Amino acid sequence: MSQANDAPRADIGARTSYPATFPISAASRIVSWLFGTLVLIASLFIAGMAARSHVPVIVVGFMVVFFLIAAAVTVRSATMKLILGEREATLSTVFGARNVRRQDITGRSAIKSYVRFDVRDGRPFSVPLELFKRARVGTWLGDIPDQAEIAQAAFLEKVKADTSLGVDAESRLAALKRSRALATGLQIGAVMVYFVSRFNSEYQGWCVAILAAFPWIALAAVAMNPKLLRLGVGKDDPRPTVATALLFPVIALFIIGLDLDVLEKVGVWPWATIPAVLLAMATMAASRQENGSAGLRLACALVLGCGYGFSAALVADVMLDTAPSTRYETAVINHSITRGKYTHYYLDLAPWGPRTNGEHLSVSRVTYDANQVGASVCMQLHPGALKLPWAGLGSCRT
């Protein structure tokens, strides 16, 4: 097999000389740069919110690391090109090049927008699907099997043979179809609920409560049907995934939590520990059948649990607080607007109560227009349902 794979192929079509170079298309470069720009804007916005909200330095550090990784991925994608030789392929980017001989490729798997090659040395070698098709790499590879197709076919056969999923093959495949619909519905639903919460204040409380429940719903769905659903921690797994329904609500709650004016967010961790540990343990339990490593599963569970616990505790402190508040009168000393994908309005307030250095407050367009520089405003200081004081802009009327 190695000798056949290593031999020059005569059926590459019109290609008569090597090496043949295939850069990423102009359209893909534009998409990569647009993605990078959006990530940059979002990262700067969230980091700014975190800094103003006195979030722990380690959280801001995670955001910076995420931005750097996203920036590296963007640059890598935009500068990628595939060079095919008679017996080897080279994937080149601004960060360097990865070379692999055809005789060392033992398999391939199509994963969404990429084709990943299985190489004897175990190091990853992935080619964008666009380049794979343009360079006719499938012809160059010869009869090397597509592992993703093999895994999908084996999974379907396993489903049809599993008597616990139905009385016959047709009903078992119908159960798989329902699982796919459930996974899609959960993931779309999580995103829709978040946007309703941001643009419809009347239902915000209900939407936030639903968002807080979504990770548990996703975990319960996987735990109840592990043969047909997965969390998405591993790779090369043909089962439908609920990854977005698990991860997106945590990110959404984190953004909502940062937007709340809790005076000392660091103090939330004693309250955040219980939901963080519970979600991490539930994630580990639900991912037992994932084919990812135990270390990867544990890391994902810890990050997810900490993000959820921190955010859920902040939201609970504010939204479950029914105690009377204390009013402090202050003045607007400056205001500003930031424009990007969304427009945000801010008021800079003079020192008041516990905010001895003043405050940079995010407000609605209506509140921004109604309070010019020099105007008097009142801040309402609430004790917090978890005894973590939080503040909100209120009326100065007695």
Domain endpoint, select from 127, 149, 171? 149
Res 84: pLDDT: 84
Task: Quote the domain boundaries for residue 349.
Answer: 326-394
pLDDT at residue 221 in the model: 92
* pTM confidence score: 0.68
pLDDT over 70 (residue 13): no
Token pair recorded at residue 116: 């990943």
- The predicted-structure confidence for 106-143, as pLDDT tens digits, reads as follows 888 777 777 888 888 878 788 888 888 777 777 777 77
* Cα 215 to Cα 206: distance, rounded to the nearest angstrom: 16
Q: Do 244 and 297 lie in a common domain?
A: yes
Is the backbone peptide bond immediately before 8 cis, with ω within 30 degrees of 0? no
* Same domain for 362 and 230: no
Q: Are residues 296 and 181 in the same domain?
A: yes
Specify the number of domains making up the chain.
3
From 270, 295, 319, give the residue that closes a domain.
319
Helix (H) or strand (E) holding 216: helix 204-224
Is 222 found in the same domain as 308? Answer: yes
By C-alpha distance, which of 309, 325, 338 is closest to 381? 325
Residue with the two structure tokens 């975190």: 50
Query: Does some domain include residue 22?
Result: yes
User: For the sheet containing 88-93, what is the strand order?
Assistant: 20-23, 81-84, 88-93, 96-101
Q: Are residues 343 and 378 located together in one domain of the fold?
A: yes
Residues 304-329 pLDDT 10s: 999 999 999 999 999 999 899 889 88
pLDDT digits (tens, 9 = 90+) for 259-294: 888 888 788 888 999 999 999 999 998 888 776 678
Helix/strand/coil (H/E/C) assignment for every residue in 137-201: HHHHHCCCCEHHHHHHHHHHHHHHHCHHHCCCHHHHHHHHHHHHHHHHHHHHHHHHHHHHHHHCH
State whether 177 and 311 are in the same domain. yes
* 92 & 145 share domain: yes
Together in a domain, 347 and 284: no
Q: Are residues 134 and 33 in the same domain?
A: yes
Q: Are strands 20-23 and 81-84 parallel, antiparallel or unpaired?
A: antiparallel
Domain boundary among 149, 180, 207: 149
Query: Residue written as tokens 């309250």?
Result: 271
What is the per-residue DSSP string for 85-123? Answer: -SSEEEEEETTEEEEEEGGGEEEEEEETTEEEEEETT--
